[in-house]
Amino acid sequence: MIALSNITKRFGDNTVLSDVSLSMPEGSVTALIGPSGGGKSTLLRCINLLETPSGGTLRIGEASVTFSERGRLSRAETQMIRQQTGMVFQNFQLFPHRTAIENVMEGLITVLRWPREKARARAVALLEKVGMAHKADAWPATLSGGQQQRIAIARALAPSPRVLLCDEPTSALDPELAAEVVDVLAQLAREGTTMVMATHDLRLASQIAQTVIVLDGGQVVETGPARQVFDAPERERTARFIATLKSAGETDQSA
């Protein structure tokens, strides 16, 4: 269970998230959609504390932290949350001086202090899961964007996080390579992986997510089952935004 209660995030005088309260059950897939600048990526970064909220409460499983403008989290509180999350970034962020398998192993060895052979066995299993075992010894620079993102997904899964956070996981890829990543994430969803993803990719959100949350201006403006939000949104603003996503998807497919 992930629960956000009255989460607020300010950068100086700019309020990026305003009183966001959400609940995401274990084993669910939630898509965050909305116009650029609406707060999707900031919300993801607040869940794993890459950004510290200005106020509110965050709970992941049994771990709970409360934020305030003045208080700073202790290292133990931060680690308590981060150890339960894995993050997949828009631009992959693989270590260029590490091979594919070394990228997956790195956190297990340096953060969790796993023995190298145990970490290697885990990495091999995850590379097989994402269809990249044949590229275990390849350098990131020799791989396509889709291949790099699949390795990044394996790396994020390595410590067995409670929730996988995906920040625009297909936006840097052309449609064919994006399809590779969608297939991997869809398989993880079928296996019951809890995921929260910020995306403009209608195919990704509609195929994988059970719940869609629409963020605009740092606020939740609509939430509901994916089919309902995409086929019969309650708000006109949501309908206009989804129409732009559908138009963009049709353009990509005809390109």
Decide if 87 contacts 195 (C-beta within 8 A).
no
From 106-115, 155-164, 201-210, the region with the lowest mean pLDDT? 201-210
Evaluate whether 93 touches 71 at the Cβ level (below 8 Å): no
Torsion of CA 185, 190, 192, 197, to 10 degrees: 30
Given a cut of 80, whether residue 198 has pLDDT beyond it is yes
Report the pLDDT value the prediction gives residue 240, as an integer from 0 to 100: 87
pLDDT digits 0-9 by tens, 211-246: 999 999 999 999 999 989 998 888 888 898 888 887
**Type of residue found at 78:** T
Does the pLDDT at position 255 exceed 60?
Answer: no
- Cβ-based burial of 41 (10 A; exposed 0-12, middle 13-18, buried ≥19): buried
**Range 18-25 contact pairs with CB under 8 angstroms and sequence separation of 24 or more:** 18/217, 18/218, 18/219, 19/56, 19/219, 20/56, 20/215, 20/218, 20/219, 20/220, 21/56, 21/220, 22/213, 22/220, 22/223, 24/163, 24/194, 24/196, 24/211, 25/1, 25/194
Mark out the alpha helices in 111-222 (DSSP H runs): 116-129, 145-157, 175-190, 202-208
- The confidence band for 250, taking pLDDT boundaries of 50, 70 and 90, is low
Residue 247: per-residue pLDDT: 77
Instruction: Assign 3-class secondary structure to 221-246.
Output: EEEEEHHHHHHCCCCHHHHHHHHHHH
Contact criterion met (CB below 8 Å) for 150 and 180: yes
Residue 253 pLDDT greater than 60, yes or no = no
Report strand pairing: 211-216 vs 29-33.
Answer: parallel
pLDDT exceeds 70 at position 193: yes
pLDDT given for residue 251 in this prediction: 55
CA nearest neighbour of 195 among 6, 25, 5? 25
The answer to whether the CB of 10 falls within 8 A of the CB of 54 is yes
Average pLDDT over residues 66-91: 88
* Mean pLDDT, rounded, of the chain: 92
Domains contained in the chain, CATH given: 1-84+163-255 (3.40.50.300), 88-160 (no CATH)
Question: Could you read off the pLDDT of 117-149 as tens digits, one per residue?
Answer: 999 999 999 999 999 999 999 999 999 999 999
How many CB atoms neighbour CB 185 within 10 A? 28
pTM for the structure as a whole: 0.91
How high is the pLDDT of residue 120? 97
